[in-house]
Amino acid sequence: MKTLVRGPRYIAIEILCRWEESHQPLDYLTEQCFAAMAPEDARDRQLSISLVYGVIRRRTYLDWVLDRFSSHPLAKMKNRTLQALRVGLFQLLFLDRIPSSAAVNETVQALKDMKQPKWLTGFVNGMLRTMERQRNNIPCPSKSKGLIPEAAFLNHPEWLIQRWKDRYGKNQAVALCEANNTQAHLCLRVNTSLSTPSALQEKLEAAGLDVELGNFSPVAIKIADYHGTVDAIPGFSEGLFQVQDEAAQLVSLLLAPLKPGYTYLDGCAGLGGKTSHLAQMMPAGSILEASEPHSGRVKKLRENLVRLRLEKTVTIVEGTIESLLPARKGKYHGMLIDAPCSGLGVIRRHPDIRWNRNPGDLQRYQEMQSALLGAAADLLAPAGTLVYATCSLEPEENEVVVQKFLENHPRFMVSDCRESLPESCDSLVDSAGFFRTMPGRDDLDGFFAAKLLKMQN
């Protein structure tokens, strides 16, 4: 099928319409739309992404503003009309580098290109121009908390706001929501099989990038205010780094110490972020296997390992960890289970997650996570190490899962995560020995991990 080249606002509106109707992951919908109507300029691609992510991060606030100016109820608007208004308003209020005339004209033109009726494009044009004229009188979220309803200021579902208030208190809950509404810095994990943190830092600085070493992970480099594509960063094609938040990097360290001659398994490999980290840590003579049941993710896992020059270090098993039984029972000396979860700890990188989840999802994920740990217990050798991790903040997916597992598997015990992490990470481990990070407190993605040891008898 022939690719139709469309403008960035056209693509942004289309992605948002598809997301509103399907609530599929934004990454998937963005890739789908770019394939069908790819903009020629990389800057247009980045603008499309900025518009989509910005609108979803500020959706409740944008709707509060729109409702103040619209004589027509937002709930009765057509999806495409509402998404166009959100895209236009987001540019007016949050993207200073875009002239207001371009924000209005190009958004209206996108609707015209979509063959929307003249009365509708006129309605959107009129609303955007009215809001542009009144822009200085619209309360800004960062400066006018008292003038904006809490839900509009925090931009999270009510059930999630209340849940976090009950657990953390109002101040910490607000800080968490505010952190989720900002764009996280880009963080790289240096591929130490090919480079060093200092060498990659020097290479990036020579290219004019504003970089600094990580605060917690010994192989992390942070890039400030980067708006380009990842593959344009020097060293990408040579495999010198993998994009990965520091919190995720620290999870892999929990499997240490890795020993020569031992066999390890990444039981939920996905695209290979933690798989490739383990691969670059593997001592000579050890074996690393990676299990992943989804064929599309297996393909990208292989591609990532090839780019990082680590493909010979990992054996990929296409299947679930349950499918490894009974043939591999007791085979692995160390296992990482980075379990499927709600993802409520990585909202700042995946803002759509907040709107895609409901309280009932937590129980569904818990059942899946418990099943994975049960299979992992059988696959692990005596005296082996099992690391259980999620990118969730919710106890139902974290300590509750671990507690139930320990009740059903008395041969396992919790090991203090501090013993496997640098001293700089002491504050990230709680009194029970669990690893926990949180946006708004640590400037990290929200992760949980438990290190479990299987006794000999």
**Tell me: the pLDDT tens digits for 374-413?**
999 999 999 999 999 999 999 999 999 999 999 999 999 9
**Tell me: the pLDDT tens digits for 197-233?**
999 999 999 999 999 999 999 999 999 989 888 999 9
**Tell me: the pLDDT tens digits for 25-82?**
898 898 888 888 866 677 888 899 999 999 999 999 999 999 999 989 999 999 999 9
Reported pTM: 0.93
Q: How high is the pLDDT of residue 44?
A: 86
Q: Which residue has the tokens 């657990």?
A: 167
**Tell me: the pLDDT tens digits for 76-134?**
999 999 999 999 999 999 998 999 999 999 999 999 999 999 999 999 999 999 999 99
Q: What is the 3-state secondary structure (H, E, C) of the chain?
A: CCCCCCCHHHHHHHHHHHHHHHCCCHHHHHHHHHHHHCCCCHHHHHHHHHHHHHHHHCHHHHHHHHHHHCCCCHHHCCHHHHHHHHHHHHHHHHCCCCCHHHHHHHHHHHHHHCCCCHHHHHHHHHHHHHHHHCHHHCCCCCCCHHHCCHHHHHCCCHHHHHHHHHHHCHHHHHHHHHHHCCCCCEEEEECCCCCCHHHHHHHHHHCCCCEEECCCCCCEEEECCCCCCHHHCCCCCCCCEEECCHHHHHHHHCCCCCCCCCEEEECCCCCCHHHHHHHHHCCCCCEEEEECCCHHHHHHHHHHHHHCCCHHHEEEECCCCHHHCCCCCCCEEEEEEECCCCCCCCCCCCCCHHHHCCCHHHHHHHHHHHHHHHHHHHHEEEEEEEEEEECCCCHHHCHHHHHHHHHHCCCEEEECHHHHCCHHHHHHECCCCCEECCCCCCCCCCCEEEEEEECCC
Q: How much of the chain, in percent, has pLDDT values that exceed 70?
A: 98
Mean pLDDT, to the nearest integer, of 297-309?
Answer: 96
> Which domains does the chain carry?
8-139 (1.10.940.10), 186-243 (3.30.70.1170), 247-454 (3.40.50.150)
**Tell me: the pLDDT tens digits for 424-439?**
999 999 999 999 999 9
Rounded to 5°, the CA angle 439-443-448 comes to: 55
Total Cβ atoms within 10 A of residue 457: 5
**Tell me: the pLDDT tens digits for 357-376?**
999 999 999 999 999 999 99
Q: How high is the pLDDT of residue 228?
A: 83
Q: Which residues are catalytic?
A: 391
Is it the case that residue 456 has pLDDT exceeding 90? no
Mean pLDDT, to the nearest integer, of 407-423?
Answer: 96
Q: How high is the pLDDT of residue 147?
A: 84
In whole angstroms, what is the distance from residue 435 CA to residue 451 CA? 9
Q: How high is the pLDDT of residue 1?
A: 40
